[in-house]
Amino acid sequence: MFFRWDWLRPQLTAPIVPTLGPVHPDALTVGLFEDTLRAAETGDFLPYDKDRRWGGEKDEKVLRSDVVHQPEHTLIPTLTRRGRGTVKVFAYGLPDSIVEEAAELAAKLAAAHDVVNARVVRPLSPETAHPHGTRIQLKNFTSGPCPEPDGPVRPVTAWPAAVQETFAPFAEAMSGDGLAFLRTQMQAGRCGPVLAAAIEDRIVGAIGPMEVLPDAIGRPQLMPQYFAVLPEARGQGLGRILWRAAMHWGQSHGAAYQLLQTEVGGPSDRLFQAEGLTSLGFTHTTQA
């Protein structure tokens, strides 16, 4: 075993694992970190990796030989060749000085692997004052009912054909939120249903795909979705209706929970906080 849990566990201020992203606190074990090392050698997806549903090969991998694992801090670098390439160094530990050490390692590895981007990812605890970056949030489906909301929301394929045809321009307009990519997956039949909101026979918002898969300890997890509403359609409560419809779908299909990441202070962050989700911590990403 490479990692010592008695060293690493006190450093985990937020439940995020390199190449896997956020995980449920109950599933946060040394085995997850060991699994990422094995996956780096084989290039395969782990059985519970949320990215495996898109097919292809796992792009991001841990640079095992460059991991720094010490009693007071742990630095885990990852490499992706996507785009112009990125090295990320996940900096686990309480001293602020680890950020500088992580930045030096990221810059060195980016040069060694001939990639353009070098970044430091710092997990932060839920008690962090004035946080920046990304909040990790938990929706627990076992804590209470998620009733189906009233509103103009149904699966894309359940809308009349003329309305379905408006999904393409909507997805293109919201490509920055991942909807164009989602549409390609829908066309290929490689994902679950997508819920859409329509006003005057035109799709103006969507959330999906809706899929429930087992996590590392076998608990059913509602997988992360792409979620967007056209700017001109905001302020009418459609985002909240879409969100509640997705949560109703997840609960009714047996999900125990969902993990989400939101930009601190952004519209989704404010919505999910108002909906009572639990904050598990933050991640702050900086350029090295």
* All domains of the chain in start order, with CATH: 5-133 (no CATH), 143-255 (3.40.630.30)
| pLDDT for 264 | 96
Is 90 exceeded by the pLDDT of residue 94? no
Neighbours of 96 (CB within 10 A): 9
Is 90 exceeded by the pLDDT of residue 253? yes
Is 90 exceeded by the pLDDT of residue 199? yes
Q: d(Cα 59, Cα 78) in Å, to the nearest integer? A: 10
Q: What is the DSSP letter of 149?
A: P
Is 90 exceeded by the pLDDT of residue 55? no
| pLDDT for 267 | 87
Instruction: Output phi, psi for 197, to 5 deg.
Output: -105, 135
Q: Which residues contact 248 (CB under 8 A, 6 or more apart)?
A: 146, 147, 148, 149
pTM of the entire predicted model: 0.92
| pLDDT for 96 | 82
Is 90 exceeded by the pLDDT of residue 121? yes
CA dihedral 14→18→23→27, nearest 10 degrees, is -100
Q: Which residues contact 183 (CB under 8 A, 6 or more apart)?
A: 167, 168, 171
Q: d(Cα 257, Cα 122) in Å, to the nearest integer? A: 24
Q: Once rounded to an integer, what is the mean pLDDT over residues 194-205?
A: 97
Q: Once rounded to an integer, what is the mean pLDDT over residues 47-69?
A: 92
| pLDDT for 95 | 82
| pLDDT for 151 | 94
